[in-house]
Structure 1
Amino acid sequence: ERLSFHEPKEQDGVCIVEPPDEVFEIGVKRWSNTLVGYFVGKRIPFKVVKEQLEKKWRKWGAVQVVTADNGNFLFKFDNNTSCDQVLSNGPWEVWGAYLALKRWEEGMSLCKDSFTSIPVWVKLANVPSELWTRPGLSYVASALGVPLCMDAATSAGNRLSFARVCVEMKASSSFPSSFKVRRRNGTLSEVMVQYAWKPSVCSVCRVFDHSSKQC
């Protein structure tokens, strides 16, 4: 397919390419229903990833698997609902390796040289019932990191024994087993945390995906 030439600019002796907004919008639209993922601690062959995840995610529609830089994968779906279903039904594993998944966002780096944060599924027990809402659980889960999503049962509110949410946590996190929430009457409720999978963190450089012995 033919490409077209667009005159670049020069500033202080540096060549600078400045595409217009409409060019960026075309790219954003193309990747809008895409998840970005990588396997922590293990390299999985592309063929295995494609076959395994296509089979596991088949019930939510077709997925196009694309390999990116340094072990990253892009999973492109036909619609936003499929993305939500895959995220909310995680975590996912292939060959025993945890697949860290998050939504594609404009400007995000596809290089995973230093994992300073990672999506982790957690169970939150003893959450006050008055906070069992999307805004309420967002506040509660923020004690651990940046809340990304919750599973279908948590969203429906038909299982109040625990909330299951996915949180992007930093490598510098202490991965607490509990924290407290102050209710409107001033009392403190202790929320218990259970991790579906806890990643190993290098104690030297505080990043994921390699041990302190490698640093």
Structure 2
Amino acid sequence: MTMIYRFSPILSVFHWLVLSPPVAPLPVIRKAFERLGFSEAYSVGLLHSNIILINFKSDLDFHKFWEKKTWDFFGYQMVVTRWTTSFSIERDSPLAPVWISLDGLPVHLHDLRALNSIDKLLGKTIRIDAHTANFSRPSTARICVELDTSLELPPKVRIGYGATSFFQTIVYENFPLFCHNCSRLGHSAVNCPRATRPLVPKSQVCDPVIGNFSKASVSPNIVAGTPEALLMYWMPLLLLLVSLKSRLPLLLMLLMLVLK
């Protein structure tokens, strides 16, 4: 009889983050980490030839480092992503910590349990803003939530308690961009460096001097050798001469066309 063991890891105990390329050399990163002053132990190792894996013992250190999203170590700007069991060197994890503001949320819903219930509609609660926790800024509630940035998130959610319900507007602060073209964090598909740019037809190329007029845009209905064809052929040069305010060459050119 064959027995299959299915291992289900508890991801909450894996405080692992990934530094995506381009990354600084490992000794440089270790030296920089010594200056950051983490509260508990951590380890930094090479996961791939150009990917660094960081393992934090402290949940506080883990989220402190992750929430910044990008780090600059001695000129190397690196994107921080969360390691998951679906990790791939070809794509970044779309999970990211995002602060959200709930402006005008009723004060009695600033309770931790109520806020956690609201956040579950979007993602996983990471922590609550200090002003929200001590009710020192009752006009709004701020929560840091783990969100999937590859999804289209709602601008508002419906909140119900008792016989009352209402729509609450959500403000996403510094929402990180996720590219669906290369599956990397930090930019959108519009600005993706790997995107294939469409070639512009030659007939649509605009000359900085003579505008959109070019030989490539000559109408195919014009018969070669006719005065119209000659005029169309020489028109760019004529326009150039006009732009240079050279009257004599222009008159000579017109005379040549008439005599021909």
TM-score tier (shorter): 0.5 to 0.7
- Partner of 1:84 in structure 2? 60
Instruction: Provide the C-alpha distance between the structure 1 equivalents of 2:59 and 2:35, rounded to a whole number of angstroms.
Output: 15
- C-alpha change, 1:54 and 1:62, in structure 2 (3 Å) is farther
- C-alpha change, 1:169 and 1:91, in structure 2 (3 Å) is same
Give the percent of matched residue pairs that are identical in Structure 1 and Structure 2: 11
Q: Does the 8 A contact of 1:179 with 1:191 survive in 2?
A: yes
1:161-180, Cα deviation, whole Å (9 max, x unpaired): 33221313141x22444444
Instruction: State the TM-score, normalizing by the size of structure 2.
Output: 0.53
- C-alpha change, 1:94 and 1:138, in structure 2 (3 Å) is same
Whose RCO is larger (CA < 8 A, sep 6+)?
Answer: 1
Tell me which amino acid in the other structure corresponds to 1:190. Q
Instruction: Provide the C-alpha distance between the structure 2 equivalents of 1:124 and 1:89, rounded to a whole number of angstroms.
Output: 21
1:94-123, Cα deviation, whole Å (9 max, x unpaired): 115442346x7xxx2443423463123222
Q: Is residue 71 of structure 1 aligned with residue 51 of structure 2?
A: yes
- Partner of 1:132 in structure 2? 110
Q: Is residue 99 of structure 1 aligned with residue 80 of structure 2?
A: yes
- Partner of 2:174 in structure 1? 196
Q: What pairs up with 1:99-178 in 2 under 5 angstroms?
A: 99-101=80-82, 108-115=85-92, 117-126=94-103, 127-144=105-122, 146-151=123-128, 153=130, 156-159=133-136, 160=138, 161-171=140-150, 173-178=151-156
Q: Does the 8 A contact of 1:134 with 1:155 survive in 2?
A: no
Instruction: Provide the C-alpha distance between the structure 1 equivalents of 2:31 and 2:141, rounded to a whole number of angstroms.
Output: 33
Tell me which amino acid in the other structure corresponds to 2:47. A
- C-alpha change, 1:43 and 1:188, in structure 2 (3 Å) is same
Aligned length: 181
Instruction: Provide the C-alpha distance between the structure 1 equivalents of 2:97 and 2:113, rounded to a whole number of angstroms.
Output: 19
More strand per residue: 1
Instruction: Provide the C-alpha distance between the structure 1 equivalents of 2:78 and 2:132, rounded to a whole number of angstroms.
Output: 27
Instruction: Provide the C-alpha distance between the structure 2 equivalents of 1:143 and 1:67, rounded to a whole number of angstroms.
Output: 36
Aligned structure 1 segments of 4 or more residues deviating by more than 6 angstroms:
none
- Partner of 1:6 in structure 2? none
Tell me which amino acid in the other structure corresponds to 1:74. I
Instruction: Provide the C-alpha distance between the structure 1 equivalents of 2:14 and 2:31, rounded to a whole number of angstroms.
Output: 18
What do you get for the CA RMSD once the two structures are aligned?
3.9
**Displacement of 1:147 after TM fit?**
0.8
Instruction: State the TM-score, normalizing by the size of structure 1.
Output: 0.61
**Displacement of 1:140 after TM fit?**
1.5
Structure 1 unpaired stretches of 5+:
1-8
Instruction: Provide the C-alpha distance between the structure 1 equivalents of 2:127 and 2:28, rounded to a whole number of angstroms.
Output: 28
Pair member with larger Rg: 2
- C-alpha change, 1:156 and 1:101, in structure 2 (3 Å) is farther
Instruction: Provide the C-alpha distance between the structure 1 equivalents of 2:132 and 2:45, rounded to a whole number of angstroms.
Output: 30
- Partner of 1:55 in structure 2? 35
Q: Does the 8 A contact of 1:64 with 1:75 survive in 2?
A: yes
**Displacement of 1:32 after TM fit?**
8.1
Instruction: Provide the C-alpha distance between the structure 1 equivalents of 2:99 and 2:173, rounded to a whole number of angstroms.
Output: 5
